[in-house]
C-alpha cells in the first residue's frame, strides 16, 4: 500500500504555516488581487519567494483546490478557479466571491457580517475547556436538558410561551423537526393544509410519510382558513408561518388564528406553527405566536436558530403539548437529535447569558435599516415593493412571467427567486422574492437595484 | 411579562465563577464526598462560605439541577439527586456516577478516558479562530469537501479503498447514512438481508421505507450467504458487518465475501457494508473491506466516527460507486448533511494532520489490553467467553434464559445485554453481550466480573 504523502508531510512541517499561506491567497482572491482564471506561480517559485518548503506551498494549494478556490490543470499549472465568479459578466457583483459568500439578494441567510463570531468562539472555547470525558457520549435523544431549559426561558421571556423543558425537543433543523412531528403524530393518508405559496423544500417530508397535501391560498390576512374548511375540513394537520408568511410576509390575522384553533380543537387536528423569523418585526406590535393562545393544546411550535443565529449551526426545536411528550419521546428514539453536544452546550450558554437576546435586538435594528435601503433603492429603479411589517425577505410585484424575469436576473449572478416557483397551484400574480439581510450599505442597495433593473427590464 | 431572572443575574455577575462552583460540586459528588440524597447548604450559607454573591451560588445550583445532579425540594432545600445512583444497592459500582458516565459493561462506547480531548479542543479552537463569516452558511449537502478529501486519503492509506472525494457523503451518523442510502436506491417492497442476530436500532429505517426484511442467520463464518440465496435470492439489498459481526464478533469468510459479491453482481443488488469497528483487530491480519474488492461496484461502504472518535461528534459517512453519485446527490438534497461545519472542519484537520491515525494505533493497544483484562476476569469467575479476533465487545455463552439473567444483572446496575434481544427469529443459543472499552484496569475487570457472577449465578 502506498503511503499517503499528505500525512507524511504534515507530520514533518508545522501545520499553521500552510494554512496561513492558504488564507493569504484566499484574501488576495476575494479582494480581487488575484483574478479568476489567472495562473499562480509554481509551488517551487512560491516556496522560494516565501522562504518555506515547497511541500508547504503544495499543501496550501491543495487545500484551496479542495475548497474550490483553485484548480489544477496538469502541466499548465495551478489557476484561480473561474467558478469563483458566478458568471463571466464583468458587471457581475458576485465576481471574486469566496466559497460560501452570499450572492446578491440570496435568501435564507441572516446578516453574515453581524454575527458576533468572536464572542461565539470564546463561549465555545470555554465549553471545550470545561468538557469532561462524559461529554463524549451520545447526546440525549431529545436534546440536552440545559439547552431545553434555556429555550424554555427564552420562549417565556420573549415569545409569551409558557412551557416546561420536557416539552422541548431539539433537532438538527426545521426539516428534522417536521420529520419528528410527522413520525410522532401522522399516519399514511392523513391530510395536511399547506400555505400556497409556501416553502417547498419541506414537502418531501409529507410525501415520504404518504400524507395528502392540501394547498390553501394565502391572501393579505395569511392562510385562507375558510378555504381549508371548505375544501379539506377533515385534514389532520395544518402547517403555517403565521408571523410573516413565507414568502409573502403577511401576518395571519387574529380572527383567522381563532378560526384555526377552533377547527383544530373540534377536529382534533394539529397545527404546526413555523415561527422561523418572528423575531424580526419592524413596524407595529407583533401578534403573539398561536402557541401562546393554545388553550386546547393542539399546536406544535417549531423554532430554529438558522435565521436568528446562523445556518451552519444546524439546530432547531419543537415545543409539544404536555400530553404529546410521550409520543414525541418515542419518535425521538427512532430519530434522535443529531446536534453535537458541544454545539448544544455553547448555544445554551449563549442564551442563558443574555447574548442571544442582545444579538436579536441588534439584528432587528440592522435589518430594519437594510430593509429600508433596499426597498428605497428598488423603488428608485421603478420596482413595486409589497409593503410588509417584518420578516427577512422582500416581495416585488411584477407583470409578465416572473420565472423568465428571474432566469435573466440569475444569469447575471443575482440570486432572486420567482414567486411562481413557491406555488403548488399555478395561479395568482407573479412576484420576485429576495433577501436584504446581506445588503450592508445604502450604496450596495443602489448597486444591486440598478443591476436588477438592467438584467430584467 | 415578567423579566427572566437568570438573564438579569448573568448580566451583572461574572460567568465563570458559578461554573467553577458547579464543577467543584460535580466533582465532590462524583468522588463520593457528597452522597446521593444528601442536602446541600442553603445558597445563603454557601455564599458566605465561598465569599461570593448568593446569586452566584443559586446559578451554580440551578445549572446542576438542570443537568440532573441536584434536585430542589421546595422549602426543604436542594439535594444531591438520588438518581445520580443507578440503583439503591450499596454494592453497585455505578453509585455516584455523574450524568453521562458509562455503566459497567456499557456497549457502544469507545474508551472515554483515552480520547485526546485537549488536542481536539486545541484543533477546534484554531478552527474557530480561522473561521470567516462565510463559514456561517449552510454546509454542503453532501458534507464539506475538505473532510471528504481527508476521509478518501484515510481510506486509501488505512483501508485499501480507492475512492474520489466526490464518492463520499458525510452524514450525522450511521442511521442517517442508511436513510440516505435507502432514499437513493430503494423502493417500497424491496427486500433486504439482515444479519440475525444484528443491530436492531437500524431496522426502523427499512420499515419506514416499506422494505421487506429477510433475517439471515450468522455462524462462525459470518452471515450465511447460502441461506440468503436459498430463501430470498431476489432481495435488492444486504446489510452486513463483515469485519466483526455485530454482535457476535465473527469475520465474514473470504469465500462468503466472493459469494456475496457474485450475488450482487448477478442480481444487480446492493451490499451495505457497515465497517463500524474494523480498525480494532487484535490477532492476525484483518481481511480488507468488501469495498476494496468491489470490482462490480455494488458496495455502499458505511463508516462512522462514533467508535473511532466519540459518539457525541455525530459524524459518519458513505462511500458510493461513481455511477451512483448522482442518485445520492439527489437524495442528499432531500436529506442534507446536518453535521455542523465547524465539526467537519476540525475533524478534517484531525485526520489530515495524522492525529486520527495515531489515535487509532493507541486505541488498538488500549483495547487489546482491556479486552484481555476482562476476558481473563470473566474466565476466572467461570464464564465462557467466545473467542474473537477483534471488535469492541465480548460475547459469553450462557445456559438458560439469557434475558432473565440479563434482567438480574441490569437490576444490579450492570449494563450487559441479552443476545436474544438482538435476534429477529428466536433460535440459537443464549448469550450475554458486553463492552470492555471502559474497563480501565485489571482490578476493575475483576470487580466487574465478580459483581456479574454474584448478580446472575
Please tell me the total number of residues recorded for chain B in this structure.
457
Chain B contact for A63, CB < 8 A? Answer: yes
pLDDT at B11 (0 to 100): 34
pLDDT tops 70 at residue B403: yes
For testing the chain A interface, which of B18, B26, B66 should be mutated: the one with the most A CBs within 10 Å? B66
Chain A contact for B95, CB < 8 A? Answer: no
pLDDT at B86 (0 to 100): 33
Integer angstrom CA distances of residue B3 from A86, A160, A162, B353: 48, 11, 13, 49
- Kindly report the nearest CA distance between residue A404 and chain B, in angstroms: 24
pLDDT at A95 (0 to 100): 36
Q: How far is CA B4 from the centre of its chain?
A: 38
CB-CB under 8 Å, B341 with A338: no
Question: What are B89-115's pLDDT values in tens digits?
Answer: 333 333 344 566 889 999 999 999 999
Question: What are A295-338's pLDDT values in tens digits?
Answer: 899 999 999 999 999 999 999 999 999 999 999 999 999 999 99
Percent of chain A's residues with pLDDT above 70: 90
State pTM to two decimals: 0.79
Directed axis angle between helix B174-185 and helix B325-334, to 10°?
Answer: 110
CB-CB under 8 Å, A146 with B67: yes
For B59, list phi and psi in degrees, rounded to 5.
-65, -45
pLDDT at A14 (0 to 100): 40
Residue A11's pLDDT band (cuts 50, 70, 90): very low
DSSP tag of B157 = H
pLDDT tops 60 at residue B10: no
> Are the beta carbons of A300 and A292 closer than 8 angstroms?
no
Q: Which residues of B touch A145 (CB under 8 A)?
A: 66-68
Percent of chain B's residues with pLDDT above 70: 91
pLDDT at A43 (0 to 100): 86
Domains, chain B, ordered by start: 17-89 (1.10.10.10), 119-355 (3.40.640.10), 366-456 (3.90.1150.10)
Nearest CA in chain B to A131: B117
Q: Point out the least confidently predicted range of A60-69, B109-118, B251-260.
A: A60-69
pLDDT tops 70 at residue A4: no
Nearest residue to A125 (alpha-carbon basis) of A365, A344, A346: A346
Question: What are B336-353's pLDDT values in tens digits?
Answer: 999 999 999 999 999 999
Residue A144: all three cell numbers together: 440536552
Chain A contact for B23, CB < 8 A? Answer: yes
Positive or negative: CA dihedral B124, B149, B144, B206: negative
Residue A85's pLDDT band (cuts 50, 70, 90): very low
pLDDT at A9 (0 to 100): 32
pLDDT tops 80 at residue B201: yes
CB-CB under 8 Å, B338 with A340: no
Rounded to whole angstroms, the Cα distance separating A367 from A23 reads: 30
- Kindly report the nearest CA distance between residue B101 and chain A, in angstroms: 5
Q: Which residue has the higher pLDDT, B241 or A429?
A: B241
Nearest CB partner across the interface for B138, out of A312, A334, A352: A312
Rounded to whole angstroms, the Cα distance separating B217 from B196 reads: 5
- Kindly report the nearest CA distance between residue B208 and chain A, in angstroms: 8
Question: What are A333-356's pLDDT values in tens digits?
Answer: 999 999 999 999 999 999 999 999
pLDDT at B344 (0 to 100): 96
> Are the beta carbons of A53 and A15 closer than 8 angstroms?
no
Nearest CA in chain B to A120: B128
Residue A163: all three cell numbers together: 412551557
CB-CB under 8 Å, A67 with B146: yes
pLDDT tops 50 at residue B27: yes
Q: Which residue has the higher pLDDT, B3 or A59?
A: A59
pLDDT at B32 (0 to 100): 66
Q: In the predicted model, what is the mean pLDDT of residues B193-215?
A: 94
- Kindly report the nearest CA distance between residue A311 and chain B, in angstroms: 5
DSSP tag of B391 = S
pLDDT at A449 (0 to 100): 97
pLDDT at A382 (0 to 100): 95
Residue B15's pLDDT band (cuts 50, 70, 90): very low
Q: Point out the least confidently predicted range of A275-279, B106-110, B329-333, B381-385.
A: A275-279
Q: Point out the least confidently predicted range of A20-29, B84-93, B290-299, B400-409.
A: B84-93
Q: How far is CA B95 from the centre of its chain?
A: 23
DSSP tag of B99 = T
Q: Which long-range contacts (CB under 8 A, 24 or more apart) does B324-331 make?
A: B324/B184, B324/B185, B324/B300, B325/B166, B325/B167, B327/B184, B327/B185, B328/B142, B328/B169, B328/B180, B328/B181, B328/B184, B329/B141, B329/B142, B330/B184, B331/B180, B331/B181, B331/B183, B331/B184
pLDDT tops 50 at residue A277: yes
pLDDT at B30 (0 to 100): 72
Q: In the predicted model, what is the mean pLDDT of residues A41-61?
A: 84
Task: Provide the 10 A C-beta neighbour count for residue A114.
Answer: 18
Q: In the predicted model, what is the mean pLDDT of residues A222-242?
A: 97
pLDDT tops 90 at residue B78: no
Chain A contact for B268, CB < 8 A? Answer: no
Q: In the predicted model, what is the mean pLDDT of residues B316-324?
A: 97
pLDDT at B99 (0 to 100): 61
Task: Return the SS3 of B415.
Answer: coil
Beta bridge partners of B319: B168, B301
The torsion of the CA quartet A129, A133, A137, A140, rounded to 10 degrees, works out to -60
Q: Point out the least confidently predicted range of A359-363, B111-115, B255-259, B427-431.
A: B427-431
pLDDT at B90 (0 to 100): 32
> Are the beta carbons of A180 and A171 closer than 8 angstroms?
yes
pLDDT tops 90 at residue A372: yes
Nearest residue to A271 (alpha-carbon basis) of A309, A310, A316, A239: A239
Burial of A60 from C-beta contacts in 10 A (0-12 / 13-18 / 19+): buried
Nearest CB partner across the interface for A67, out of B138, B145, B349: B145
pLDDT tops 60 at residue B435: yes
Beta bridge partners of B128: none
Q: In the predicted model, what is the mean pLDDT of residues A356-373?
A: 94
Query: Which residues 284-323 of B are in CB contact (within 8 Å) with A?
Result: 306, 310-314
Residue A2's pLDDT band (cuts 50, 70, 90): very low
Residue A45: all three cell numbers together: 517559485
Q: Which residues of B touch A14 (CB under 8 A)?
A: none
CB-CB under 8 Å, B128 with A121: yes
Q: Which helix (H) or strand (E) holds B65?
A: helix B54-66
> Are the beta carbons of A202 and A174 closer than 8 angstroms?
yes
Residue A79's pLDDT band (cuts 50, 70, 90): confident
* The 3-state secondary structure of chain A, one letter per residue: CCCCHHHHHHHHCCHHHHHHHHHHHHHHHHCCCCCCCCECCCHHHHHHHHCCCHHHHHHHHHHHHHCCCEEECHHHCEEECHHHCCCCCCCCCCCCCCCCCCCCCCCCCCCHHHCCHHHHHHHHHHHHHHCCHHHHCCCCCCCCHHHHHHHHHHHHHHHCCCCCHHHEEEECCHHHHHHHHHHHHCCCCCEEEEEECCCHHHHHHHHHCCCEEEEEEEECCEECHHHHHHHCCCCCEEEECCCCCCCCCCCCCHHHHHHHHHHHHHHCCEEEEECCCCCCECCCCCCCCHHHHCCCCCEEEEEECCCCCCHHHCCEEEECCHHHHHHHHHHHHHCCCCCCHHHHHHHHHHHHCCHHHHHHHHHHHHHHHHHHHHHHHHHHCCCEECCCCECCEEEEECCCCHHHHHHHHHHCCCCCEEHHHHCCCCCCCCEEEEECCCCCCHHHHHHHHHHHHHHHC
Per mean pLDDT, which of A99-113, B356-370, B386-400 is the most reliable? Answer: B356-370
Residue B1's pLDDT band (cuts 50, 70, 90): very low
Q: In the predicted model, what is the mean pLDDT of residues A144-173?
A: 95
Rounded to whole angstroms, the Cα distance separating A148 from B276 reads: 31
Please give the mean pLDDT across all residues of chain A.
Answer: 87
pLDDT tops 80 at residue B2: no
- Kindly report the nearest CA distance between residue B268 and chain A, in angstroms: 25
pLDDT at A102 (0 to 100): 86
pLDDT tops 60 at residue B212: yes
Q: What is the ipTM of this complex?
A: 0.76
Nearest residue to A244 (alpha-carbon basis) of A203, A206, A283, A276: A276
Q: Which residues of A touch B339 (CB under 8 A)?
A: 314, 338, 340
pLDDT at B84 (0 to 100): 63
Q: In the predicted model, what is the mean pLDDT of residues B152-164?
A: 93
Directed axis angle between helix A355-380 and helix A145-159, to 10°?
Answer: 60
Residue B407's pLDDT band (cuts 50, 70, 90): very high
CB-CB under 8 Å, B113 with A4: no
Q: Which residue has the higher pLDDT, A47 or A302?
A: A302
Residues 6+ apart with CB under 8 A from A291: A159, A161, A273, A275, A299, A301, A319
Q: In the predicted model, what is the mean pLDDT of residues A235-244?
A: 96
pLDDT at B56 (0 to 100): 85
> Are the beta carbons of B84 and B96 closer than 8 angstroms?
yes
Q: Point out the least confidently predicted range of A68-82, A226-240, B308-322.
A: A68-82
Q: Point out the least confidently predicted range of A57-61, B168-172, B214-218, B320-324.
A: A57-61
Query: Which residues 244-263 of B are in CB contact (within 8 Å) with A?
Result: none
Query: Which residues 112-131 of A are in CB contact (within 8 Å) with B?
Result: 112-113, 115, 117, 120-121, 124-126, 128-131
pLDDT at B247 (0 to 100): 94
Task: Provide the 10 A C-beta neighbour count for residue B33.
Answer: 12
CB-CB under 8 Å, B353 with A10: yes
CB-CB under 8 Å, B4 with A137: no
CB-CB under 8 Å, A313 with B10: no
Amino acid at each position: 500500500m502506498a503511503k499517503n504523502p499528505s500525512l507524511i508531510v504534515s507530520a514533518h512541517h508545522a501545520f499553521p504555516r500552510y494554512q496561513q499561506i492558504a488564507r493569504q491567497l484566499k484574501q488576495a482572491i476575494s479582494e480581487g488581487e488575484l483574478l479568476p482564471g489567472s495562473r499562480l506561480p509554481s509551488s517551487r517559485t512560491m516556496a522560494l519567494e516565501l522562504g518555506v518548503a515547497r511541500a508547504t506551498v503544495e499543501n496550501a494549494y491543495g487545500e484551496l483546490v479542495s475548497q474550490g478556490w483553485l484548480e489544477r490543470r496538469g502541466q499548465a499549472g495551478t489557476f484561480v478557479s473561474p467558478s469563483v465568479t458566478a458568471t463571466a459578466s464583468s458587471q457581475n457583483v458576485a465576481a471574486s466571491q469566496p466559497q460560501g459568500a452570499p450572492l446578491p439578494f440570496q435568501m435564507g441567510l441572516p446578516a453574515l457580517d453581524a454575527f458576533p463570531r468572536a464572542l461565539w468562539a470564546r463561549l465555545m472555547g470555554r465549553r471545550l475547556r470545561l468538557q469532561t470525558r462524559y461529554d463524549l457520549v451520545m447526546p440525549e435523544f431529545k436534546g440536552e436538558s440545559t439547552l431545553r431549559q434555556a429555550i424554555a426561558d427564552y420562549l417565556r421571556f420573549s415569545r409569551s410561551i409558557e412551557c416546561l423543558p420536557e416539552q422541548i425537543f431539539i433537532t438538527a433543523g426545521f426539516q428534522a423537526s417536521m420529520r419528528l412531528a410527522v413520525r410522532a403524530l401522522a399516519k399514511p393518508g392523513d391530510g395536511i393544509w399547506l400555505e400556497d405559496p409556501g416553502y417547498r423544500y419541506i414537502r418531501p417530508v409529507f410525501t415520504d410519510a404518504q400524507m395528502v397535501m392540501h394547498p390553501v391560498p394565502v391572501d393579505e390576512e395569511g392562510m385562507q382558513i375558510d378555504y381549508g374548511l371548505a375544501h379539506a375540513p377533515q385534514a389532520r394537520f395544518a402547517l403555517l408561518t403565521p408571523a410573516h408568511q413565507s414568502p409573502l410576509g403577511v401576518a395571519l390575522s387574529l380572527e383567522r388564528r381563532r378560526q384555526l384553533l377552533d377547527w383544530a380543537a373540534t377536529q382534533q387536528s394539529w397545527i404546526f406553527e413555523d415561527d422561523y423569523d418572528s423575531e424580526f418585526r419592524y413596524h407595529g406590535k407583533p401578534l403573539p405566536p398561536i402557541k401562546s393562545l393554545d388553550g386546547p393544546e393542539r399546536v406544535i411550535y417549531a423554532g430554529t436558530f438558522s435565521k436568528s443565529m446562523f445556518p451552519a449551526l444546524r439546530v432547531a426545536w419543537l415545543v409539544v403539548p404536555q400530553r404529546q411528550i410521550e409520543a414525541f419521546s418515542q419518535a425521538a428514539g427512532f430519530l434522535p437529535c443529531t446536534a453535537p453536544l458541544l454545539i448544544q452546550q455553547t448555544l445554551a450558554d449563549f442564551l442563558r447569558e443574555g447574548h442571544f437576546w442582545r444579538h436579536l435586538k441588534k439584528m432587528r435594528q440592522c435589518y430594519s435599516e437594510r430593509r429600508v435601503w433596499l426597498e428605497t433603492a428598488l423603488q428608485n429603479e421603478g420596482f413595486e415593493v409589497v409593503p410588509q411589517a417584518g420578516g427577512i425577505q422582500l416581495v416585488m410585484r411584477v407583470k409578465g412571467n416572473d420565472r423568465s424575469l428571474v432566469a435573466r436576473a440569475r444569469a447575471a449572478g443575482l440570486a432572486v427567486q420567482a414567486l411562481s416557483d413557491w406555488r403548488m397551484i399555478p395561479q395568482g400574480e407573479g412576484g420576485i422574492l429576495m433577501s436584504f439581510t446581506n445588503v450592508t450599505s445604502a450604496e450596495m442597495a443602489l448597486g444591486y437595484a440598478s443591476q436588477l433593473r438592467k438584467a430584467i427590464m
